Structure 1
Amino acid sequence: MFEQLVGKLPVGIGIVDESFNVVYLNDFFLDRLPHELRKNYKETPVTDLFHGQGKFLKRRLKSVFVLQHPSFSYWEQRPHIFPFKSSRPITGEETQMYQNMEILPVKDKVTGQRYACIFLQDVTAQASYFRAQQKLSEALKKEHEAQRKLIRKLDTAQSQLIQAEKMASTGQLAAGIAHEINNPIGFVNANLNTLGQYASHLISICDGVYSHIENFNDELNEQIEALYQSNHYELLKEDITELIEESTDGLTRVKDIVENLKNFSLENSEGVQTVDICTVCNQLITLISAQYSTPQYKFDCELEKVEVMGNPGPLKQALMNVMINAAQAIDTKGVIKLSVQESGDRVIIKILDSGCGIPAQHLKRVFEPFFTTKPEGQGQGLGLSVAYTAIEQHQGKISISSKEAKGTVVEISIPKQPSHSKVNSPESVIEPSDIVQEEV
């Protein structure tokens, strides 16, 4: 009766021996295994049953067996340990399961055999609620910020609106503290490199001592063996290098993001100058992908450098606004492709996304100031208007082709060398008759 109860519990329960072979799985696990494995799962290594996360599971199980302490993994750290689906009880909708996992050490009182018991809890509903609350909180913050800015900016000139949009998109605060962030990143990175070298030397010393253990007397031999086992030397040796490498990689990614944000956000007072479009696009992809990780980003350019004469601030802002719109148009999964080509004395920039597209009735209004289809508080309707003005100041053209539920292509064409100093004039007026749009 107890075994039936455990088998029917709405949580996953699995038992693994010290060889990482599966001894028992309850119905929660069995129902989610392929049919051909359900009857013959016993004595099968857990890494074979769930090979996708085999390395992670083996590390956690080894830690439990060696240290004889529980191990926990929560969905915020690793959302999908096992490749399971979670079904909504009413709608039947299936989504990837968010999971909390706990591994406990257990011991057979009769045989003395040690096991690890895996408890797996489906927390998809809680995770969805938590994320919904996060989105709601962010939406409320954006709405409050938007209202505060609108009250201050309604009777300002268009140049002030452009600067306000830049502040909202790139984050002046982040640009201002980038230098302060880089200082601790620098010494932490140096310390990690030194720590890696120290760890390598210590491991070499320990391995050298162990290789000569047979030359010591029996008492000293036993003491050294006990010292290695009590401090779990093999586990430390296996994990320490990988942990240092993972920390170094993460620190490098943080450094790259901060550096790109600083370079992208800095205002330049020199006016018209040479702008490398390829560098700007690479910086832009780094920044946007850090904030919007759902789409897959691709940069297509056969040339190493594509230069134009222009004002870098407005050009960067225009491209960023278009890229943010593309990222926000993709809800769950999709692709954003940014390409740069030279065509005679002009540069063609295309931004393609596989998002929700633009309805035909809205296509002719997308460049109008304050026009937005986003919920109230989630957008001011200035992004494409600001982009159009910046491109027009550089004597360029911007066109949009879109089909609802299929995607959107934004094409920007700017001359490499403007014919006069119009790029210095931030007060250019948007003329609706000048807007070029196409519907696919």
Structure 2
Amino acid sequence: MFSQLVEKLPVGICVVNQDYEIQFLNDFFLDRMSSHWRAKYKGNQLADIFPEQVKFLKRRIKSVFVLQHPSFSYWEQRPHVFPFKSSRPITGEEMQMFQNMEIVPLTASDGERLACLILQDVTAQASYFIAQQDFSSALKREHEEQLALIKKLDTAQSQLIQAEKMASTGQLAAGIAHEINNPIGFVSANLDTLKQYSFHLIQLCDALADKLQTGSGELADFANETLNSFHYELLKEDMAPLVDESTEGLSRVRDIVENLKQFALEKSGGWQLVNIHETAEQLIQLISAQYKTPVYKVQCEPENLQIFCDPGGMKQALTNIVMNAAQSIDTKGFVKIDIKAGAQWVKIKIIDSGSGISQDNLKKVFDPFFTTKPEGMGQGLGLSVAYTAIERHKGKISASSNPGRGTVFEIIVPLHAAEQQSAAC
């Protein structure tokens, strides 16, 4: 009865001696073996019946005989010890059996030392565990994708806010420039009038002085004392240059305001032809008014080159890069915008002789929120916004730098792009 029970157990039982000869196999093993071995397995070598598994099995069985201690093999370590199939209870689908194996030492009634292999089919548990792992991995991937999407949305929102700020600032600057033009006109007109008045006043004073000095001695002395006490000769000599210098300074203010007005506000929205040479010149004049240390230069071949672009995005990209270039120069140096046109593409280089960027930071300059500036000096969006703007133009932007010697930003955009024209319509 006991032997019948062992034969029908839902686990595999295999008994071998110290010579690795099989002494007993229950139905769990026999049902899964070829008919060739079912009747004559007893006394055959383990290597004859299970040649592919024998190396692993012998190592484990030997340790049991030597140590007289059980040995375990779990499916996570070695999923398929024996090449058996397992049938799913509902679907009947067959798959490779996942197995846990335990080898325990035995002693026969005649004192012979034996090893008993107990094999358990854990396919259902293993399949469930693997499915759970796959599900967890999928959830993790989905979570990471969601985090990446949230980060991308945050970046896009920040860039949109920055772009809106730039657009609003541009409109505000254009409005302020228009308002400043009115008092500039008044002051300019008044300076012209003042120049005429000062000319006539000096002529009047000269005539009176000449008349008084040719009169009696008392009047002549009074005239000389009065003219000397008010430093008339100095006033006469200095008044005209002072008015001229003020007129020249006012003219420079008018030019800056006009450049700001032209640069900040476009005549019409959307994609359009833009004089990139003129835009670069206006940008340099505006930035040089704030950052006076560098020497600025614009070179464009051919002159007055026009490209089809989104004016706001292109100006924003150039402004952010040129501003960074100007800020990188502490004492002496230069900032150059070099524009060259090819048959289909326009290459714009912004070159500076500033402090440069380290190779580690150079890899991250276009990342949103990355900045090397002190806290409060920048949000780290300038170059990220520039990168996005150039991408919208189907262009490319790259940076190279030599720390301590300067940086080069290179922008390549299409001269005229059919898909951009269609997008503009």
Q: Which TM-score bucket, shorter chain as reference?
A: 0.5 to 0.7
CA distance in 1 between counterparts of 2:202 and 2:283 reads 42
CA distance in 2 between counterparts of 1:268 and 1:387 reads 22
Q: Does 1:411 align with 2:410?
A: yes
Q: Does 1:218 align with 2:221?
A: no
Partner residue of 2:61?
Answer: none
Q: What runs of 5+ residues in structure 2 fail to find an aligned partner?
A: 1-152
Q: Deviations over 1:211-267 (max 9, x none)?
A: 555643334333322332232211211221122122222222222222212221225
Contact conserved, 1:300 with 1:339, CA < 8 A, in 2? yes
**1:234/1:302 Cα in 2 relative to 1: closer, same or farther (>3 Å)?**
farther
* Root-mean-square deviation (Å): 2.5
Normalising to structure 1: TM-score of the pair? 0.57
**Bigger relative contact order, structure 1 or 2 (CA pairs below 8 A, ≥6 apart):** 1
Partner residue of 1:350?
Answer: 349
CA distance in 1 between counterparts of 2:158 and 2:415 reads 25
For the residue of structure 2 that corresponds to 1:309, the secondary structure is strand
Q: Does 1:160 align with 2:160?
A: yes
Q: Deviations over 1:358-384 (max 9, x none)?
A: 111121221122222222222111111
Contact conserved, 1:165 with 1:382, CA < 8 A, in 2? no
Which amino acid in 2 is paired with 1:393? R
> By how many angstroms is 1:184 displaced?
0.6
Q: How does 1:29-48 map to 2 (within 5 A)?
A: none
CA distance in 2 between counterparts of 1:214 and 1:176 reads 57
Identity %: 54
> By how many angstroms is 1:167 displaced?
5.7
Partner residue of 1:288?
Answer: 287
CA distance in 2 between counterparts of 1:155 and 1:331 reads 31
> By how many angstroms is 1:204 displaced?
2.7
Partner residue of 1:263?
Answer: 262
Which amino acid in 1 is paired with 2:230? N
For the residue of structure 2 that corresponds to 1:420, the secondary structure is helix
CA distance in 2 between counterparts of 1:233 and 1:314 reads 58
> By how many angstroms is 1:335 displaced?
1.1
Contact conserved, 2:159 with 2:381, CA < 8 A, in 1? no
Partner residue of 2:238?
Answer: 239
Which amino acid in 1 is paired with 2:161? L
Partner residue of 2:47?
Answer: none
For the residue of structure 2 that corresponds to 1:270, the secondary structure is coil
**1:345/1:225 Cα in 2 relative to 1: closer, same or farther (>3 Å)?**
same
**1:268/1:373 Cα in 2 relative to 1: closer, same or farther (>3 Å)?**
farther
Q: Does 1:180 align with 2:193?
A: no
Contact conserved, 2:271 with 2:421, CA < 8 A, in 1? no
Which amino acid in 2 is paired with 1:373? T
Q: What runs of 5+ residues in structure 1 fail to find an aligned partner?
A: 1-152, 426-440
Partner residue of 1:389?
Answer: 388
For the residue of structure 1 that corresponds to 2:418, the secondary structure is coil
Which amino acid in 1 is paired with 2:160? Q
Aligned positions, number? 272
> By how many angstroms is 1:208 displaced?
3.9
Normalising to structure 2: TM-score of the pair? 0.59
Which amino acid in 2 is paired with 1:181? I
Higher Cα Rg, which structure: 2
CA distance in 2 between counterparts of 1:214 and 1:381 reads 73
**1:192/1:173 Cα in 2 relative to 1: closer, same or farther (>3 Å)?**
same
Contact conserved, 1:357 with 1:404, CA < 8 A, in 2? yes
CA distance in 2 between counterparts of 1:407 and 1:167 reads 30
Partner residue of 1:191?
Answer: 190
- Residue range with higher mean Cα deviation, 312-321 or 396-405: 396-405
Which amino acid in 2 is paired with 1:307? Q
